[in-house]
């Protein structure tokens, strides 16, 4: 029996990991015995979270990402919106790598950036590695009090090449919405028509760091606030890029801020490799333009395909 090996029936580390992942699916026998244990554990978690916050005992990365706060406070309220309201279905989650830098490029729509929130919640909850997507936002976001601080704490940073490259080269999953305000604030009649993709800065960042680009197509977000008008004067007054008029806003006031419950699909496409072009590829404008077009075309075609498969805006 020289080759015999001891195979442990219970690998404590793996068991713990499995337990953590399937809390609801495989309830522990002791939990069945005492249903009180569950709320007690939750209370203990809550208290320990409160203690950490009071003592300032948590880590923040150089971009200001506060994982503790994001996972315990900012993410949970998105769950009902994601699961019950929009009933988001993700397709091709396996195209999102479990480790290492990658750039997710998606279409932007919906007047308010709920598509960004849903995509990041989807990856954090459904991806096996539960990765946090670090999004690149407009400087308007970071200039705004409260919102800017929240955006930084939830892992977002300013859309600029140094930040994008720093995140990608440190192995983070980065999300970018290159249409920007042109995409999110477009009128309802232009729905699912991709706008110009900026200047291709995101492609240059991916090329420089040799990280793959993952095209991401989001269907459903266009219908949450159908924008039928734009009051330019009010937008200028408040310093917004647009002031939306939807069938219910500002007519119904705050009630109009409730998004319509459209059915969503988020599809992650095949990664486009950027490490095959060699050094200095980021300085080749033609290559950058071509890649930008390729990403844009891929997303547009996927959008059309998803739209033809969709029978009803609200039922999917």
Q: Which residues here bind other proteins, judged by CB under 8 A? A: 34, 36, 40, 43-44, 47-48, 50-51, 53-64, 66, 139, 142-143, 145-146, 148-149, 152-153, 157-158, 160, 162-163, 166
Dist. CA 121–CA 131, nearest whole Å: 9
Minimum CB–partner distance for residue 139 and other proteins (Å): 5
- DSSP readout, 187-231? -GGGTT-----TTSHHHHHHHHHTPPEEEEEEESGGGSS---EE-
Exposure on the CB side of residue 170, measured as CA atoms within 13 A: 10
Nearer of residues 69 and 88 to other proteins, judged by Cβ: 69
Nearer of residues 58 and 314 to other proteins, judged by Cβ: 58
Nearer of residues 127 and 153 to other proteins, judged by Cβ: 153
Nearer of residues 64 and 187 to other proteins, judged by Cβ: 64
Nearer of residues 162 and 171 to other proteins, judged by Cβ: 162
Minimum CB–partner distance for residue 71 and other proteins (Å): 16
CA-CA distances (angstroms) from residue 84 to 76, 200, 223, 262? Answer: 13, 36, 16, 11
Minimum CB–partner distance for residue 40 and other proteins (Å): 5
Minimum CB–partner distance for residue 267 and other proteins (Å): 30
Dist. CA 122–CA 124, nearest whole Å: 5
Specify whether the CB–CB gap between 102 and 202 falls below 8 A.
no
Dist. CA 98–CA 91, nearest whole Å: 16
Dist. CA 238–CA 109, nearest whole Å: 21
Minimum CB–partner distance for residue 46 and other proteins (Å): 10
């Amino acid at each position: 029996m020289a080759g015999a090996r001891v195979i442990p029936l219970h690998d404590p580390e793996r068991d713990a990991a499995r337990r953590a992942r399937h809390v609801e699916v495989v309830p522990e026998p002791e939990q069945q015995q005492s249903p009180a244990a569950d709320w007690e554990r939750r209370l203990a978690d809550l208290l320990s979270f409160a203690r950490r916050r009071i003592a300032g005992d948590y880590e923040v990365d150089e971009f200001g990402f506060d994982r503790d706060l994001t996972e315990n406070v900012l993410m949970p309220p998105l769950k009902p919106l994601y699961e019950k309201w929009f009933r988001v279905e993700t397709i091709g989650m396996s195209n999102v790598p479990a480790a290492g830098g990658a750039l997710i490029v998606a279409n932007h729509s919906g007047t308010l950036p709920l598509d960004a929130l849903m995509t990041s919640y989807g990856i954090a909850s459904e991806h096996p590695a539960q990765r946090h997507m670090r999004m690149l936002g407009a400087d308007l976001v970071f200039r705004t009090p409260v919102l800017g601080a929240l955006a930084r704490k939830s892992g977002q940073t300013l859309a600029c090449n140094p930040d994008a490259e720093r995140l990608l080269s440190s192995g983070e999953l980065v999300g970018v919405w290159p249409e920007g305000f042109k995409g999110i604030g477009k009128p309802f009649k232009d729905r699912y028509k991709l706008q110009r993709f900026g200047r291709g800065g995101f492609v240059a960042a991916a090329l420089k760091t040799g990280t793959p680009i993952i095209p991401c197509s989001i269907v459903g977000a266009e219908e949450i606030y159908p924008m039928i008008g734009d009051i330019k004067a009010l937008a200028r007054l408040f310093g917004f890029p647009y002031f939306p008029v939807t069938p219910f806003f500002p007519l119904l006031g705050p009630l109009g801020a409730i998004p319509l419950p459209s059915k969503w699909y988020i599809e992650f496409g095949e990664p486009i490799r950027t490490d095959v072009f060699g050094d200095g590829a980021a300085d080749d404008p033609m290559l950058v333009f071509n890649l930008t077009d390729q990403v844009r075309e891929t997303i547009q075609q996927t959008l059309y395909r998803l739209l033809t498969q969709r029978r009803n805006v609200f039922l999917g």
